[in-house]
Structure 1
């Protein structure tokens, strides 16, 4: 059986999509998860996918909070993600992030990156995290509807994914909250029946070749722009701007150990996770050591 790989169909997924297009042996199948990392984690839990390419903070938080549905097996995007706060286009009530304290925040799912970054925002603003209020709205389309019907004040989503809706006048940006960590990791179900180690290693090895090729200057100068334009329909100037901000690892089968230190510390301060009593988290419990190497 080919690996079932869950992903979010965004510009970040371009190397993965190029790999899938060339995968003549059909060693894996792609399963789109438009609601983001919360949906990816749910599908790992419900045996709907075997591998997930998802947001670092939500994946680490899930394991820290006791999830047994997956272990981390690799890296995907090595640069931070820039989350932008979006509010109704015509609302005079919410002009900046400081206006959002105590208001209902739209999120895609519980445990999603959109929820976790709201906690990070609260930490940065000095708000009490237990005062945050959330409304689940599944995907970006429902999130946009929620700010415009007044059921939420704002939501957080990646800048370039949201920008077409800003350009269309449906929402507006009121501020940004960059992640203080590398933004995307790769997780897999720990069952060897669902995700055999040798298949995961082969998948990551080949994915690395596509990531390295996509990250090359000569690809960034032209072919990447055309691929993203044809696949996602983004304006060329937005694609060129995004390519200047994103970076990928040289080897997808490694994870820098510093990611765990930075992410766990911030998530604990934000109240998203709680460290076990009398000891700190053991990084080795987060990874599948038969597949990934810590650096």
Structure 2
């Protein structure tokens, strides 16, 4: 069985992309272990694809997918409430936190807000709301806005959600004039993939910048999980295929982690695949070799992607509840709800 793996093309996907390129091929040159299904819409779209049965795994979402921890865990909670559990956690992908930028507009070289304190004033006022751009409901861009609000002491009901899809429309929304239906005050996205628009290489004038960063938020949990559709892990043959995929992915994660030298093949792979900035595809480009060096120095992957920390699920649930992104029932949710029938395969550490 050839699995279909959903993912977002970001620098975090490097071990997955290297595994894809190096896997065995059949006589026709087609992959024998997995195919890739790329989305530019983030984890929210990966969850949607999993629910629709379009992918098997998400490493950023599909029948087996890898995606943002907070979004995938909240997605399981939401699915349980709806009576539909589309996927379960089968592994850990990135152990380091994700650095989220809080981004506003810079139309005409004038930042919409110079500092996050200006948004504090809106949140504390009796009138008005902070219009927050998100890629789609349930996405990391929405869940981390809840975390931002919690950190800043804002009430969640002061946030107004504006769904704008991919990163380019989100950047356009913070620069749109007041009164525009898609106009927003801020949106949140991964720091390095959007920094080129805030500090492009060689920019000499402030009005060359598309957006302005007013703050940053780190996820209070490991940033990426791997999930698989419940249908895929329910079948003996397909579950075995998932296990084989994870074991192969783990080998490439370890090989990547062992070579972070600035003249090695991993650095060259990142420069080649992720450092060419284009206006049309910021999502796919950290912006420069400088960004690649910075990212390599901070990212960390697990010793084994099959090891899921024993406190990860409950810590994430508590953080989401504190941020008012979800409400836990009395007694909370058991870990088995998230790991399900695949629990015996996932090592708890």
Answer with 260-269 or 73-82: which moved more.
260-269
Distance 1:202 1:148, change over 3 A: same
Query: Unaligned stretches of 5+ in structure 1?
Result: none
Aligned to 1:76: 93
2:153 equivalent in structure 1: 126
Q: Which residue of 2 aligns with 1:260?
A: 313
Contact map agreement 2:149 2:156 (CA 8 A) in 1: yes
CA distance in 2, matches of 1:232, 1:42: 26
Alpha-carbon spacing, 1:18–1:274, altered in 2? closer, same or farther (3 Å): same
Aligned residues of 2:111 and 2:211 also touching (Cα < 8 A):
no
Counterparts of 2:70 and 2:298, CA distance in 1? 19
Aligned residue number for residue 97 of structure 1 = 116
* Cα distance in 1 between the residues matched to 2:263 and 2:337: 40
- Partner residue, 2:2: 2
Provide closer, same or farther for how the CA distance between residues 220 and 69 of structure 1 changes in structure 2, counting only shifts above 3 A. farther
Structure 1 CA distance for aligned equivalents of residues 95 and 86 of structure 2: 24
Change (3 A) 1:170 1:73: same
Q: Given that residues 98 and 222 in structure 2 are in contact (C-alpha distance below 8 angstroms), is that contact kept between their aligned partners in structure 1?
A: yes
In 2, are the aligned partners of 1:3 and 1:195 still within 8 Å (CA)? no
Match of 2:63 in 1: none
For residue 224 of structure 1, what is the aligned residue in structure 2? 266
Backbone CA RMSD of aligned residues: 1.7
Greater gyration radius: 2
**Runs of 4+ off more than 6 Å:** none
Query: Alignment partner for residue 210 of structure 1, among 245, 252, 255?
Result: 252
Cα pair 1:58 1:111 within 8 Å, conserved:
yes
Moved more, 86-95 or 154-163: 86-95
Task: Answer yes or no: is the 8 Å Cα contact 1:3–1:50 preserved in 2.
Answer: yes
* Deviating more after overlay: 101-110 vs 59-68: 59-68
TM value normalised by structure 1: 0.95
Contact 1:197 1:290 in 2 (8 A): no
- 2:260–2:266 CA contact under 8 A, matched in 1: no
- 2:189 is aligned with 1:157: yes
Relative to structure 1, the CA distance from residue 147 to residue 273 in structure 2 (aligned partners, 3 Å threshold; closer, same or farther) is same
Greater length-normalized contact order (CA 8 Å, ≥ 6 residues apart): 1
The CA deviation at 1:225 is: 1.5
Deviation, structure 1 residue 291: 3.1
1:78 CA drift (Å):
0.6
Distance 1:32 1:190 in 2: 21
What are the superposed Cα offsets for residues 185-230 of structure 1, whole Å, 9 maximum, x if unpaired? Answer: 0001011359822111111111011001111145565222210110
1:289 equivalenced with 2:318 (yes/no): no
Distance 1:83 1:284 in 2: 29
1:197 to 230, 239, 247: 239
Q: Count matched residues.
A: 294
Q: CA deviation at 1:91?
A: 4.0
Aligned residue for 1:269? 322
CA, structure 1 residues 207+177, in 2 after alignment: closer, same or farther (shift >3 Å)?
same
Task: Name structure 2 gaps, 5 residues minimum.
Answer: 26-30, 59-65, 124-128, 178-182, 201-208, 276-286
TM-score (norm. length: structure 2): 0.81
Contact 1:188/1:195, CA 8 A, preserved across alignment: no
User: Deviation digits for residues 10-30 of structure 1, max 9, x if unmatched?
Assistant: 000011000000112421111
**CA distance in structure 2 between the partners assigned to 1:197 and 1:15 by the alignment:** 22
**2:70 pairs with 1:64:** no
